[in-house]
Structure 1
Amino acid sequence: MTGHALPDACALLDGFRSGSTDPARIMADHLAAIETHNPSLNAFSARAEDVLSRAEAARDRWAAGTPLGPLDGLPVIVKDNLVAAGLPTAWGNAALARRVPDHDEVPVARLRQAGAIVLGKGNTPEFAVEGYTGNATFGVTGNPFDPALTPGGSSGGVVAAVASGMAAAGLATDGGGSIRRPCGYTGLWGLKPGIGTVARGGGLPQVLLDFETVGPVCRSARDLALLQSVLFPLPAVASGPLRILAVARLPDAPCDPGILGCFSETMERLRSLGHVVETGDLPLDLDPLNEVWGSIADIGLAHLARRDPAVMEAAADKYKAMAQRGAALTAVDLFAALTRVYALREAVRGLWGFDAVLMPTAAAMPWPAGEAFPDRIDGQTVGPRGHAVYTGWVNAAGLPALAFPAGRVAGLPVGMQLIAGPGAEARLLDVARQLDA
């Protein structure tokens, strides 16, 4: 089963509250789903052993009317670059896979404090810097809609688990599109919060500056709002029509025709909901950012190599090469890259008079799971980030973005994203509620 064939987290929690079902039974169902689906999907890089006893304790608390919080007993999966006590934070790396932390990173702690039960860790490419999900330590993760294809990355393990019924919801990160593209490839809802919205702390070293934020991955818009309220409560906002700039293509960047068809349908859907949708070009020159994007990850990995040599010693050769390139760069090179990032953040201030920007989450449909990227899109040769042209600038700009399902092509899900101004997460969640009604 995938997607809407499965109950969402809110439905499960309603059952716990009413007594019509209980966390122990639901946990047993999820464990059975893991046994059925994980051998073909390889979503988990680590599993917790105490989840059934935790679910039984949650059942007793609900029966007594004393739940820990709004998520008590909910089975969730956490991306394997987020620290969770008692489980390795492997980040796809063999050295880190041998270390077991005794604390939770701040967002994980907030989920646990609300009663969520962490089933395990979701597989990710090593250091979470690529757009597919596979590594030499744990292998390749498949897409629930076709296990031979990728679920995207770097949050592929999380989305594969949530979409296939192995977890009710997930917690992931997005440093260049790593929540939005995988959600698009698996028919899920995801929120990439803006910089600073969800607190970090107690985690791994950052590789992508402050671009990477933590957000929820869910089966419904209401689940997204619930999990976000636990991670960081947002103010209520008045519903109203948005003025949306719809950008289907970027200059010289191909996009799959099926995705463009879903984009046109999404524009009409938003118009039918009362929003004003205007088509146009993105009023940004992304070339300066694209020219330095690779060097930012290189420098981040060079810093990681200096801070923890054992981790880089165990890394795949391509990441060692990236770290070596980064080590050869200077502080002046980093400052030059940061100058371009800050210029981008000024250029998006006010979103050119729009409330939001609509774009696809990805330019390509899913490709073979073991390949890092598709080398052709709509007959045109592309490089490693040809499929990812729509997402990275949002991270560099620090803006929040909503990923939502927008149809299917040949049976495979297609996702779209709405990007808003700083602090507008609540507006995005309101639109999500409308779209999911």
Structure 2
Amino acid sequence: MIWKKDATALLAAFATGQTTPSDAVRAILSRIAAFGSCLNAYSALSTTLEHEAGAATERWARGAPIGPLDGLPVIIKDNIVSAGLPAAWGNAALGRRVPDHDERPVARLRAAGVLVIGKGNTPEFAVEGFTDNLTFGATRNPFDPELTPGGSSGGVVAAVAAGMAFAGLGTDGGGSIRRPAGYTGLVGLKPGIGHVMRGGGLAQVLLDFETVGPIARSLRDVRLLDAVLTGDQPATAVPQPARILAVPTLGDAPCDPDILTAFEATVETLRAAGHQVVTGALPYDLSALNAGWGRIGEIGLAAYFLRDPDVARAAAPKYRTMAERGEKASATELYEILNAVYDLRNAAAALWGHDAILMPASAAHPWPAGESHPPEIAGHPVGRRGHAVYTGWVNAAGLPALAFPATVEQGMPIGMQLVGGAGRERWLMDVVEPILTPFRWPDPVLGPM
């Protein structure tokens, strides 16, 4: 089955003539026709995809692909600008606008030959940990359509995990690649600041916290896409074996027992691979950062709405309320928030004497689709970001992190994340690669595989 191939295998099949981009696109469109309405992963589909696939097929037949990814069908998150398709960001006003240019990461992928299948649904303004909006509705998890795939890259992960795309491009402003990847058994890279250059996109309501990164069913696909997105930067050498700090919990924040069990199994797997893994607490007090976290998105939305009132008028009431709160922020308050961010960046620059930090990607399993968050974790009541306690600090610190699935034989996938120092994206992949198991398809939830 063509749609079950990872991107690397598909491109190899193009090179040998075993299959073609047109075959791949037909397979993807068939999957979307079968399961698209069930999962609601796409907010828009390209109308030129089959034509573009035909052109790529002809190039491969001539032995003249335009780049290393020629003919590869990929889904793009709907807050990343892509020519010919709305960057709706879950908003009806933006959904009526069709950009005529690609944001820089998309332009790099297209130059390498990528075919954009369509846009992956996202919560409005990508500031939520679930995927639902008034314009396109809720996206569902392929492993259990009653549940959310998380957010804000929920549409992308649902499509990739269901075989409705070979890979995807997402964003991560507080865990929006890592948690959804964990909920769907995928590999996702949250790059450090500056690793994947941006430009020509939507407003950055989450400051420089939000970075663009690849999501795929295999680590080798993430490597391949990352090399294209960054111009194949050299890896940073780090001594082996790695010194890894394993942090199972943060303060008194609860975590689901099954996730902690999977975490301990991952620790033992890394130790068996030869790494020096020590379990302990994160040696930094995140309370100052956490106190101002919610204000960042509010202030960002307030500034954005002032520049684009049409988008503000179309926004869901809760986001208009957020922006109203943000308008009341003083320069002194913003300064204190930024000061907490800079303090963290200085403290985390050397990872407190470790080469990497291992944490769960999320504190909770997926919850019912359309609901904003699980109301409790491990019997303890939690707020909107109770499930997201492990991820936001990495964005604020500007560091790279790789999300990867723990080994789980059945049930819902469980994700882990390995956080590295600045510039160590490729090295994180080197550490994780030997311990990864193949992608586990969500069979039989979506019928015969």
Query: TM-score interval w.r.t. the shorter chain?
Result: over 0.9
Segments of 4+ moved more than 2 angstroms: 236-240, 407-410
1:238, 1:436 → 2: CA distance? 21
TM-score by length of 2: 0.95
Note if 1:388 corresponds to 2:388.
yes
Q: Is the 8 A contact 2:236 2:424 kept in 1?
A: no
Task: Please report how far the alpha carbon of residue 436 of structure 1 lies from its aligned counterpart in structure 2 after TM superposition.
Answer: 3.0
Q: Is the 8 A contact 1:262 1:406 kept in 2?
A: yes
Task: Please report how far the alpha carbon of residue 238 of structure 1 lies from its aligned counterpart in structure 2 after TM superposition.
Answer: 5.2
Identify the residue that residue 367 of structure 2 maps to in structure 1: 367
Q: Is the 8 A contact 2:359 2:417 kept in 1?
A: yes
2:52, 2:115 → 1: CA distance? 7
1:382, 1:150 → 2: CA distance? 18
Q: Is the 8 A contact 1:68 1:113 kept in 2?
A: yes
2:219, 2:295 → 1: CA distance? 36
Note if 1:278 corresponds to 2:295.
no
2:354, 2:39 → 1: CA distance? 40
TM-score by length of 1: 0.98
Q: Is the 8 A contact 1:153 1:181 kept in 2?
A: yes
Identify the residue that residue 18 of structure 1 maps to in structure 2: 16
Q: Give the letter aligned to residue 368 of structure 1.
A: P
Identity of aligned residues (%): 63
1:100, 1:77 → 2: CA distance? 17
Note if 1:257 corresponds to 2:261.
no
Task: Please report how far the alpha carbon of residue 134 of structure 1 lies from its aligned counterpart in structure 2 after TM superposition.
Answer: 0.3
**Where does structure 1 lack aligned partners over 5 or more consecutive residues?**
none
2:181, 2:245 → 1: CA distance? 22
Query: After the TM superposition, which residues 127-206 of structure 1 pair with which residues of structure 2 at under 5 Å, given as runs?
Result: 127-206=125-204
For the residue of structure 2 that corresponds to 1:404, the secondary structure is: strand
- For residues 84-127 of structure 1, give each alpha carbon's deviation from its aligned partner in whole angstroms, at most 9, with x where no partner exists: 00000000000000000000000010011100000000000000
1:407, 1:356 → 2: CA distance? 20
Q: Give the letter aligned to residue 76 of structure 1.
A: V
For the residue of structure 2 that corresponds to 1:413, the secondary structure is: coil
CA RMSD of aligned residues (A): 1.4
Identify the residue that residue 411 of structure 1 maps to in structure 2: 411
For the residue of structure 2 that corresponds to 1:322, the secondary structure is: helix
2:435, 2:252 → 1: CA distance? 31
For the residue of structure 1 that corresponds to 2:251, the secondary structure is: coil
For the residue of structure 1 that corresponds to 2:408, the secondary structure is: strand
Note if 1:87 corresponds to 2:85.
yes
For the residue of structure 2 that corresponds to 1:229, the secondary structure is: helix
- For residues 112-153 of structure 1, give each alpha carbon's deviation from its aligned partner in whole angstroms, at most 9, with x where no partner exists: 110000000000000000000000000000000001100000
- For residues 340-390 of structure 1, give each alpha carbon's deviation from its aligned partner in whole angstroms, at most 9, with x where no partner exists: 100010111211111000000000000001101001000000000000000
Identify the residue that residue 350 of structure 2 maps to in structure 1: 350
Identify the residue that residue 52 of structure 1 maps to in structure 2: 50
2:318, 2:209 → 1: CA distance? 22
Q: Give the letter aligned to residue 273 of structure 2.
A: L
2:47, 2:312 → 1: CA distance? 29
Task: Please report how far the alpha carbon of residue 237 of structure 1 lies from its aligned counterpart in structure 2 after TM superposition.
Answer: 5.0
**Where does structure 2 lack aligned partners over 5 or more consecutive residues?**
438-449
Task: Please report how far the alpha carbon of residue 399 of structure 1 lies from its aligned counterpart in structure 2 after TM superposition.
Answer: 0.3
Task: Please report how far the alpha carbon of residue 241 of structure 1 lies from its aligned counterpart in structure 2 after TM superposition.
Answer: 1.7
1:211 to 209, 220, 227: 209
1:211, 1:347 → 2: CA distance? 17
1:304, 1:408 → 2: CA distance? 42
Identify the residue that residue 235 of structure 1 maps to in structure 2: 234
Q: Give the letter aligned to residue 206 of structure 1.
A: Q
Identify the residue that residue 62 of structure 1 maps to in structure 2: 60
- For residues 19-44 of structure 1, give each alpha carbon's deviation from its aligned partner in whole angstroms, at most 9, with x where no partner exists: 11111111100000000111100000
Q: Is the 8 A contact 2:77 2:122 kept in 1?
A: yes
1:318, 1:66 → 2: CA distance? 51
Q: Is the 8 A contact 2:312 2:320 kept in 1?
A: yes
Q: Give the letter aligned to residue 241 of structure 2.
A: P
Q: Is the 8 A contact 1:43 1:122 kept in 2?
A: yes
Q: Is the 8 A contact 1:22 1:59 kept in 2?
A: yes
1:55, 1:143 → 2: CA distance? 28
Q: Give the letter aligned to residue 7 of structure 1.
A: K
Identify the residue that residue 323 of structure 1 maps to in structure 2: 323
Identify the residue that residue 426 of structure 1 maps to in structure 2: 426
Q: Is the 8 A contact 2:235 2:425 kept in 1?
A: no
Note if 1:296 corresponds to 2:296.
yes
For the residue of structure 1 that corresponds to 2:364, the secondary structure is: coil
Q: Give the letter aligned to residue 208 of structure 1.
A: L
Q: Is the 8 A contact 1:407 1:415 kept in 2?
A: no
1:316, 1:435 → 2: CA distance? 43
Task: Please report how far the alpha carbon of residue 258 of structure 1 lies from its aligned counterpart in structure 2 after TM superposition.
Answer: 0.3
Task: Please report how far the alpha carbon of residue 407 of structure 1 lies from its aligned counterpart in structure 2 after TM superposition.
Answer: 2.8
2:246, 2:297 → 1: CA distance? 30
- For residues 209-236 of structure 1, give each alpha carbon's deviation from its aligned partner in whole angstroms, at most 9, with x where no partner exists: 0000000000101001000000002204
- For residues 149-204 of structure 1, give each alpha carbon's deviation from its aligned partner in whole angstroms, at most 9, with x where no partner exists: 00000000000000000000000000000000000000000000001111000000
Identify the residue that residue 445 of structure 2 maps to in structure 1: none
Identify the residue that residue 28 of structure 1 maps to in structure 2: 26
